[in-house]
Amino acid sequence: MALVDIRNVTKSYGSTQVLKGVSLDIKEGEIVTIIGKSGSGKSTLLRCINALERIDGGEITVEGQSVRTDMPNLRDFRQRVGIVFQAFNLFPHMTVERNITLAPVLNKRIAKSEGRALALDVLARVGLADKIDAYPAQLSGGQQQRVAIARCLAMRPHLMLFDEVTSALDPELVGEVLKVMEDMARQGMTMVLVTHEMGFARNVASKIVFMHQGRVWEEGPPAELFANPRTPELQSFIASAR
């Protein structure tokens, strides 16, 4: 059974329909990369998976559970589905440790010492254990984004969503974030990414989803999709992304 099952999802903002019947399966351990022009609905789709946006039609299920913005156990659900944003969204008034342990300490009632161990553990996975006492403003963009990923990992999610996580970074900082994500992919984390990093899509993804005008236009393994794009839209997208 698929970990995420998206069936015929529609979504409008006012009179603009941004998702026009999207269907997609994501299996456990898959690395799914959603590509497409801006306005194609890819970020909206990602946000719908985490119930950050209400869908108008169709259904999304994650681990067999129907995802709705008014689902009864929304908070538990959100702890299982992590999301990392383009703008990091770290809490500026908290140290790196507090950013990571805030939710576990408040909701999983772990002890303070345990919290620090947890923070060190997830920070080690993103290579930033030495920054545990720093504040976000003292870190580079790439470091902040890695802390945001670590904060997500501390929730022990079953699925992670990445919404253009390298788009706000200076070019020389993109690599360190992508490397962390590659490591996570190797360790078997199920990941859904919206990205403009074609190299990452090509080399790490197990499935590419090309969205166009609110629809899944083409999908398949990267080697196949990049070598033989069937539609002129994907052909021109690949040509322009090079």
Partner 1 sequence: MQTLNFQQLWRYQDQLIDGTLHTLLLTLAAAAIGTVIGVAGAAAVRSGPRPVRWAIRGYVELIRNTPSLIQLFVVFFVLPGFGLRMGAFEAAAIALGLYFGAYCTEIVRAGLDAIPGSQVEAGQCLGLTRWQVFRHVVLPPALRSVYPAFTSQFVLLLLGTSLASQISAEELFHTGGFIETRTYRSFEVYAVICGIYFALVMTFKLLFAAVGHLAFRWPVRR
φ, ψ dihedrals at 199, nearest 5°: -60, -45
Q: Which is nearer to partner 1, 161 or 216 (CB)?
A: 161
Residue 156 near partner 1 by CB under 8 A: no
Cα angle for residues 61, 62, 63 (degrees, 5° grid):
115
Separation CA 103–CA 124 (nearest Å) = 19
Looking at the DSSP bridge assignments, the partners of residue 61 are 5, 66
Q: Which is nearer to partner 1, 52 or 238 (CB)?
A: 52
Q: Which is nearer to partner 1, 135 or 226 (CB)?
A: 135
* Identified binder of partner 1 from the candidate list 44, 50, 145, 195, rule CB under 8 A: 50
Separation CA 8–CA 65 (nearest Å) = 16
Residue 103 near partner 1 by CB under 8 A: yes
Q: Which is nearer to partner 1, 152 or 181 (CB)?
A: 152
Q: Which is nearer to partner 1, 169 or 225 (CB)?
A: 169
Contact 68, 51 (CB under 8 A): yes
Q: Which range of residues in 31-39, 85-93, 219-227, 233-241 is near partner 1 by CB under 8 A?
A: 85-93
Residue 155 near partner 1 by CB under 8 A: yes
Contact 155, 104 (CB under 8 A): yes
Contact 84, 155 (CB under 8 A): no
Q: How far is the CB of 110 from partner 1 (least distance, A)?
A: 14
Q: Which is nearer to partner 1, 168 or 238 (CB)?
A: 168
* Identified binder of partner 1 from the candidate list 65, 91, 112, 186, rule CB under 8 A: 91
Separation CA 188–CA 145 (nearest Å) = 20
Residue 85 near partner 1 by CB under 8 A: yes
Q: How many residues bind partner 1, per CB under 8 A?
A: 25
**By rule CB under 8 A, what string of x and - marks binding of each residue 176-215 to partner 1?**
----------------------------------------
SS3 239: helix
* Identified binder of partner 1 from the candidate list 57, 92, 188, 199, rule CB under 8 A: 92
Looking at the DSSP bridge assignments, the partners of residue 210 are 35, 218
Question: Which 127-146 positions form the footprint of partner 1 (CB under 8 A)?
Answer: 135, 137-138
DSSP assignments along 48-110, one per residue:
HHTTSS--SEEEEEETTEE--TT-TTHHHHHHHEEEE-TT----TTS-HHHHHHHHHHHHS--
Residue 83 near partner 1 by CB under 8 A: yes
Q: What helix, strand, coil percent values describe the chain, rounded to 5? A: 40, 25, 35
Residues in contact with partner 1 by the rule CB under 8 A: 50, 52, 75-76, 78-79, 82-83, 85, 87, 89-94, 102-103, 106-107, 135, 137-138, 151, 155
